Amino acid sequence: MDTIFFDLDGTLTDPKPGITRSIQYALQRLDHPVIPGEDELTWCIGPPLRASLVKILGGERDADRAVSLYRERFSDVGLYENARYDGIVEVLTALGNSGHRLFVATSKALVYADRIIDHFGLRPHFERVFGAELDGTRADKGDLLAYALKETGVDPSKTLMIGDRSHDMVGAGKNGMKGIGVLYGYGTRDELIAAGAQHVCATPGEIPCCIS
């Protein structure tokens, strides 16, 4: 494979505290029952944020307000409650040295994705970061990858999407790309295989073996 797109949350970095605490903050501000445990909110890591909040709130009412409140905390605090996965930098370095073109493709708003990539020193490994707009445009991974493929001009049949959730695999399949799932994030083996993953990797160190 010549070109590789990496998901951000659950693939390059572990965003659990920042995302879950920002959701709790939004619910509290809305006087909605707060889900107290961070582990009970990990299913929200990966899918588009607004869709997850609609599910939590039980409908569209207050969903846009919840997104705004989430961002109120996330933009200054939550995006830094995050950590690079051990070994991921070494993997990116090895892939770059072997001639692969590397990009980021995340459903997270681009303005936040850019700040996270820079904060954790990952920018030198990637040609470009692709993310959603704040209004939700390209939050769907299929739409995002279609846009990224058009922008980069790469051949989908020679391109991989690496991510930890079903949305990554489904988005890849819609665009004629192959997908590799990672198990150290927030998806399960069954979820990833059912969504079309050709391989699954238990650790970052296994990624190059799955590509070759």
Active-site residue (options: 2, 7, 39, 135): 7
Residue-by-residue DSSP string for 76-139:
TTGGGS-EEPTTHHHHHHHHHHTT-EEEEEEEEEHHHHHHHHHHTT-GGG-SEEEEE-TT-TT-
Q: Could you give the maximum distance between any two Cα atoms of the chain, in Å?
A: 52
* Structural tokens at position 19: 């995302």
The pairing of beta strand 83-84 with beta strand 13-14: antiparallel
Altogether, the residues listed in the chain come to a count of 212
Distance CA 49, CA 32 (A): 17
* Structural tokens at position 148: 């990224």
Distance CA 44, CA 185 (A): 12
Whether 7 is a known active-site residue: answer yes
Cite the active site residues.
7
